[in-house]
Structure 1
Amino acid sequence: MLKTKSSDDKLDTLLSRSAVPIIDLAHCGIEEIPVKSVVNRVGHQLAKALSEKGMAMLVNHGISDEKLKTAWDHLDDFVVLEADVKKHYIRTDGDNHGYVSPGVERFNGKVPELRHAFNICTLNAQNLPEEPLPGFADHISTLATDFKALGSFILQALAVSLDIPHTFFLEKHSHMLSGDHDNMTTLRMLYYPPVVDDEPGHSQDDVIKGRCQYSYQRCLSDQPDFRPEHNPRDDINEVDGVQTNGKDGQISEHKLANGEIIRCGAHVDYGTFTLLAQDSEGGLEVKLPGSEKWHRVGHLPGAIFINCGEILSIWTKERYPALEHRVVIPEQEHIRARGRHSIAFFCHPDNITMISPNDLPQTDDGQNSAILKQRKKSFKAAKERVYNAYQLIQKKFKETYTNNNNGQ
């Protein structure tokens, strides 16, 4: 007999209300030779989606479910390595590549955020944990290359959406994944530990520091499947250098001193756009343009979420607004008791690219309008400082990592 879903299972999300634009990338061609008609169609769809919502869902994008799941498996394997092994891959000041442990980042400036992250800024194998994890470097490099190809297609479609030469953005993003000294584009693997409430022997809002039980759903339905699934690899005895309690293999736990828990605080992304794949409904919320209300996005299995970043907003004079978003602890116990995996591809221009709202070529109408307003704006423009892409993101990094207690 099938169990009837409870009201807690019926999430009110933007997807459930058909309020998220869905864009089909099928038959888009290859990175070097995309199909022009598909680029044009996707460009027009992005223009509407990004200007009105700041986001969209991409389907039939060509990155397989199995390839994403394998990447999350590799991240799980990394998280449970001995602390003295992981320390060789920790992100350091002045270098965005590497592992970021829970509690180091604070997007709201106050509360440490409980997630594991591994940033990939270069495909150089010596910067990836291949020796302790055979197969890691090869698989992640291949996946990163797939995201780069998808990003290159989106850059061309964005140019079409703005009625400018289709190579305009490609030329300004020519060093993606060449290393953060040339370009800050990053493939980021993320794991948010599960949260357990009111369990015997546990305090409210304790956070389990261990592997999560997840089941990546294939794109057979537009409804998520939240059924728990046991993974024998969850029975790990040591995580982040914290020993298990006793001989029963119980996983150690961590709790913030003030009881607060956060997965990812409210922020807008720094770069041109972000591509996000996630394994389940895990609490992603957004503020739609012009609104102060938070909306749960929901999960569409197999889809990749795209949202605008600050640099694209600057370039388009806020025609494509940067989307404010956050990741909350889900209120449904059966969801919050499971972890969340995601992979984000943060697309950035080359570091030396100057970012100005006057960069984009103007259409004839735009040029006529600009001429009429030029005298009024000339004094204001002279006072504005133009930053390059590297300066803009470094400014944001300082805000995120300043005053962190890295020893927690």
Structure 2
Amino acid sequence: MDNRDVDSMLSRNEIPIVDIAHMGPVTTPIRPWLQKAADQLNKSLSNKGLVFIVNHGITEEKLQAVYSTMDKFCSLPDEHKSLYSLNPPDDNQGYIPPNCRLNIETKQKEARHSYSIQNFARKIPEQELPGFQEIVSTLAYEFCRLARLILQIVAVGLDLNPNIFLNAHLKMLKEDNSTTFRMIYYPPLGQNIEPGVTRCREQTDYGTFTLFAQDSEGGLEVQRSGGMWCKVGHLPGAILVNTGDLLEQWTSGKYLALKHRVTVPEHYKTRTRARHSIAFFVHPDDSTVIDPLTFIKSKPVLEMELPKHHLALVTTYHHWQRRLKKSYA
């Protein structure tokens, strides 16, 4: 099935597209272009909770190199892959095989391989796959560069100092920060699928926002108001940005964190095709206190209307640990 034939938010022109081609360097973005992108992003995240970014500088060649590297890792013998197993909630770096992670509420099995990296100084499979670090870190730091630019765009869109969020994210991909670069491989699925199998359970993301790249259409959906699930769609070359829990809290609900999931595609040809994606989960430094910016509320909000996590100041680290324990208990 051709991606253009998929009925999705993208095909219905419901997801804004922001072009950042003329932004300039991250350290000194060109102000008029920064303001233009900020106005677009602010409107998009306020109304939709997600946006496509194009002309972001991350090449298809670098993405394909990482997808290929993930394929090679998944092809290693199980005893080699198990050396790099993820061990939550104490450590969120490493590998999770298909059907291993269970949702404690729905008991869904996730039919995907994933490898998460928070710090390249930790154990990685360089011995088994020479060149792993260079290939993967090159792309990870490109995502980090883009995240720094978007942090400034978000701040300007809220009429804040461009550096206010940037200064809370100084340690991305280093110690004392939970920003995570995750490689995901969805293997082909046959006609007979075990009940309860999905590709990614429904959830909101824990952090500030997530940058998401994928190589094809394959089941990514978001939940709209009223509980309806809608296919996002695939825009080749674009990076999807969606709001996380902490940005929702920081902005006092002006930007809402969307629930999303990756379902098993209904169409046989799509389901039997392998699929890759990259998710870059952007988190503030662990010691950052998430203090809601009450002066940018989009509308008056009664305390009883806010989720419990809005009612008390928390550090990023405590929020992260609480969400991890809930996910992996």
Give the whole-Å Cα distance in 2 for the aligned partners of 1:106 and 1:58.
32
Quick check: 1:107–1:266 contact (8 Å CA) kept in 2? no
Structure 1 residue 105, shift from structure 2 partner:
2.5
CA-CA distance at 1:307 after TM superposition: 0.3
Secondary structure at 1:265 match in 2: strand
Q: Distance in 2 between matches of 1:385 and 1:150?
A: 30
In the aligned structure 2, how far is the partner of 1:107 from the partner of 1:27?
43
- Alpha-carbon spacing, 1:341–1:108, altered in 2? closer, same or farther (3 Å): farther
**SS of the residue aligned with 2:198?**
coil
Give the 3-state SS of the residue equivalent to 2:260 in structure 1.
strand
Distance 2:108 2:125 in 1: 29
Displacement, 1:362?
3.7
1:218-297 equivalence runs, <5 A: 256=194, 259-288=195-224, 290-297=225-232
Structure 2 residues without counterparts, runs of 5 or longer:
none
The residue number in structure 2 matching 1:400 is 327
Contact 1:47 1:162 in 2 (8 A): yes
Letter in 1 for 2:109: P
Answering whether residue 274 of structure 2 is matched by residue 339 of structure 1, we say yes
Q: Which amino acid aligns with 1:118?
A: Y
**What residue number does 2:99 align with?**
103
Structure-2 separation of matches of 1:45 and 1:34:
16
State the partner residue of 1:193: 187
CA contact (8 A) 1:96 1:119 kept: yes
Find the counterpart in structure 2 of residue 134 from structure 1. 130
Supply the distance in 2 between the matched residues of 1:146 and 1:327 (Cα, whole angstroms): 25
Secondary structure in structure 2 of the residue aligned to 1:128: coil
Partner residue, 1:178: 174
TM-score by length of 1: 0.75
Partner of 2:254: 319
1:395 is matched by which residue type in structure 2?
R
Aligned mates of 2:76, 2:124 — CA distance in 1 = 14
Q: Within 5 A, what are the aligned runs for 1:2-401?
A: 10-93=5-88, 94-107=90-103, 109=105, 110-124=107-121, 127-179=123-175, 182-197=176-191, 204-205=192-193, 256=194, 259-288=195-224, 290-357=225-292, 360=293, 362=295, 384-401=311-328
Asked if the contact 1:271–1:349 (Cα under 8 Å) also holds between the matched residues in 2, the reply is yes
Structure having the higher Rg: 1
In the TM superposition, what whole-angstrom CA distance separates every residue of 1:126-156 from its partner, at most 9, and x where no partner exists? 5221111111100111111100000000000
Whole-angstrom distance in 1 between the partners of 2:127 and 2:31: 43
* Aligned 8 A contact 1:276 1:304 in 2: yes
Q: C-alpha distance in 1, partners of 2:102/2:202? A: 10
Runs of 4+ in 1 over 4 A off after TM superposition: none
Write the distance in 1 (CA, Å) between the matches of 2:261 and 2:104.
10
Q: Give structure 1 stretches of 5+ with no counterpart.
A: 198-203, 206-255, 403-408
CA drift at 1:354: 1.0
**Aligned counterparts of 1:141 and 1:171: Cα–Cα separation in 2:** 22
**1: CA distance between counterparts of 2:43 and 2:223?**
17
Contact 2:252–2:294 (8 Å) recurs in 1: no
What is the percent sequence identity of the aligned residues? 42
User: For residues 243 and 185 of structure 2, what CA distance do their matches in structure 1 show?
Assistant: 22
Letter in 1 for 2:96: V
Question: Counterpart of 2:197 in 1: which secondary structure?
Answer: coil
Tell me, yes or no, if the aligned pair for 1:89 and 1:98 is still in contact at 8 Å: yes
Give the letter for the 2:116 counterpart. N
**Aligned partners of 1:397 and 1:279: how far apart in 2?**
28
1:23 match: secondary structure: strand
How far the C-alpha of 1:32 sits from its partner, in A, is 1.8
CA distance in 2 between partners of 1:90 and 1:112 (Å): 17
* Distance in 2, Cα, partners of 1:183 & 1:34: 25
Structure 1 residues 34 and 324, CA, compared in 2 at 3 Å: closer, same or farther? same
Distance 1:48 1:291 in 2: 21
Amino acid aligned to 1:385: A
Contact 2:104 2:328 in 1 (8 A): no
Name the Cα RMSD after superposition: 2.3
Counterpart CA distance in 2 for 1:83 and 1:171 is 41
Say if 2:21 and 2:55, in contact at 8 Å, map to a contact too. yes
Alignment partner of 1:299: what SS?
A: coil
- d(CA) in 2 for partners of 1:400, 1:139: 30
How far does residue 123 in structure 1 lie from its aligned partner after superposition? 2.3
Q: Which amino acid aligns with 1:51?
A: S
